[in-house]
Chains A and B, each alone.
Chain A
Amino acid sequence: MVIKTIFCILFLPFVILAEGRADAPPSPLISPCGSENSKEIPSHIPVPVLYTDRDIYIAGEYLYFSAKLPGPVTPGETGRLAFITLRCSGGNTVKKGIAAIDRGYAWGGIYLDDTLSTGIYRISCFEGTASAGVSPIPAGKEVMVANRFDSDLDEFIKPFGYLQGNERRSHDTEYTSEEPNIRISSDRKRYGTREPVIISLETESHIEYPVWAALSAAREETLLWCLDGIFAGEPDRPEWRENSSTRHQQNTIRGGLQISGVARSNETGAPMPGLGLFLTMAGEVINLYHTTTCSNGTFSFLLNDYHETNQVHISPQNPEMSGISSITLNDMFDAVPLYIPGRDIGTPPSTETIKKSQDIATINKLFGISFHHEKPGPDPWQFRRPLLYSRPANRVFPENFIPLDNLMEIARELVPQWQIRERGGRLVSRLVNSRTGTYFDDAPAIFLDGVHIMRPEEIVHLGSEDIGVIEVHNYPWRYGDAEFSGIISIKSTNEAYRDVTASGPYVIADIPEVIPRSTLMPPAYEEDRKMNDPDFRQTLYWKPEIIFRSREEKKEIRFYSGDLAGTYIVKVEGVTSSGNSFSEYLRIVVE
């Protein structure tokens, strides 16, 4: 009785949390200095896993992936981010992006640029971590990508000796074929073109629910075979299987994409605690973030949707600090381990196979046939663009006046509240407080095209023709923890911020794109029988997210065959709640 009551009480707050916060963005779990509170729900999945719809792709196609990441699986829970990288055999990252994790899944499609060279690539996925120095647990898988216009494939395959006889397990060590976790069957073995295919998945009685899986049906020639079965994804390092749940709970980022780094003294190299930093981005609005470095000099910013695929500028809040401090950013994607190509690849494909795939990709391109479909998914951005201010106290448009040569003249003639004077060999800028009519004690914050500017000297050369508008916000202003003695915002006509920030103490970081939730949407011929376009799908079907909940023993999946005759492998891969992975497949023939 007591145990039951305690059990109920333990669950009550989680229910309250889940229900009450469903509409509101969840509160961030990262405190300004990286320590986290204990709002985590224990994980049962020890390691992340990653699956793709195929193993061999042609540049110009989409690679569909599905990653199951350890961590809490709370309905409606959002804010977890997966980092996705695609690395070539040279080790360079050719694609990177972030994807929202929903119910433990991150999935989507990566467009393989037409310019990708033929080679072996590794797609990796891991969940972002809050603490520097602790690596997350990536899941990875090698795939082959052939350039569509590459005709000399023999030269590509021959030099890679590791492709021959590279032994690799396809299943987890706990898994044995005598005791499968899931059974896969089809209504028939042979199908005509454009005929319905019905696949049944049945879980076994001994399985531990819930079960997470992904299913693909792809041409046999587009899959790589190992000595003991089919090629499957696995964690990048086997040792991560141990204690991975604990590692995850301690370090997961929540609430959006984070950018972090460390500030050090230029003289001694020692960390600089308590240093105020601004993060700004060029744009129409002043989308400012402010933070202060921790005792070990580290800092972090939680970005918002406005930053996606853009460059952000990080600079000391106090211009005096710019000369004595240096900022180093952590690479968000550097947690992925060194890539040693070809570890996973078993039997290589023949050149004929790849050439056939190239032809199919070319035909699809020529006819403009694509079954790619983007689905609205969870929003990875938990925070929206914060505005430093919404309406300035005054706006000045220099083009309405006689042309003036520099900012000092413009301030003197056109902006009566703003004074720029030369004093002691440097420029001093001051604003009149609109409430008191007297000058502020401190200099105003200056922004050029939304980017924080350290000193007036950097922009004093701007004349009337360079400036679109000057916004004067001469109030004593607070923005979170940052305080301003007025604000001057200059919008240039020629992106003048680029010249200013190209040198000096500005640290620039590129923010990756968000990979949208996308999948393959196969045609439904029973609805549209008059479809005359050729249907050369190499992947007949791809279901990135299949969840068997408690007592849910059977699922049926239905799709249509295409116009390409041949053997197809229907493969279901996944993990059980106890972390046992499985991979089952069957062959069907389209003729």
Chain B
Amino acid sequence: MEHMGFTAIDHNAYNSALNSINSMLKTVFFTSVLIYGIVIDSPVVSLFIILSMAFITVVIGRIKLRYYIRVMSIPALFIVLSIAAVLVNFSRSSTGLFTLSLGGVNIFVTDEGIKKAVCIVIRAFGAVSCMYGLALSTPMADIIEVFRKFRLPEVIIELMFLIYRFIFVLLAVVENMTRATEARNGYGSIRSSFYSFGSIGKNLLLYSFRKADFAYDAMESRGYDGKIAFYSEDRNIRLLEIVFFILYFVVMICLS
């Protein structure tokens, strides 16, 4: 079974060697590294975060390097596009390191602009690699449990649980509907493709309403009375993990 997009990230998180570590500790670790990296604004620290997160995720977590590069390349496009505003300057009189004159307007890049853009790229990648570090080591369900421990409102937690659960149910339905449409040449022309797409969307909406009704019945049949509660055991935090956590921060502080 090939997993794509969000389900692939979740699937990898389940299979990560880091999945066995206490999720609260992981969430606190990755989030605090992310915040520190952004606040400190040091390219050296950010570079350290990028490299160390890649090491933690790929080597310790045993996520395939090819997959890690692929997921890291997704935000790369957004980051590169967003730094264009920082990198490129427009002026009628000034010029910079590289200048292009178009209709009396100079479009140029300055030395300082390049440095600033590189710093932003490294900082952004550092933050992204922290988020991927968490996403590729902690399944979504565990992250929701951590939110519950942080006293997020119960209604939001329950919605997150149900949405997360139904993403997979509805994805399987979409897959079946798409296959059934393809089998009847539903995407044979642009016109029929639009029609099929619309029909699948409509049917999926109706299907999700029906399934929601059934799911509610199923919950009620097991005594649901307004609060979704599960039993789960927290994984113990080991001394080695705390030592690693502290050492990591010591290194970051020294580098900054």
Do A and B truly interact?
Answer: no
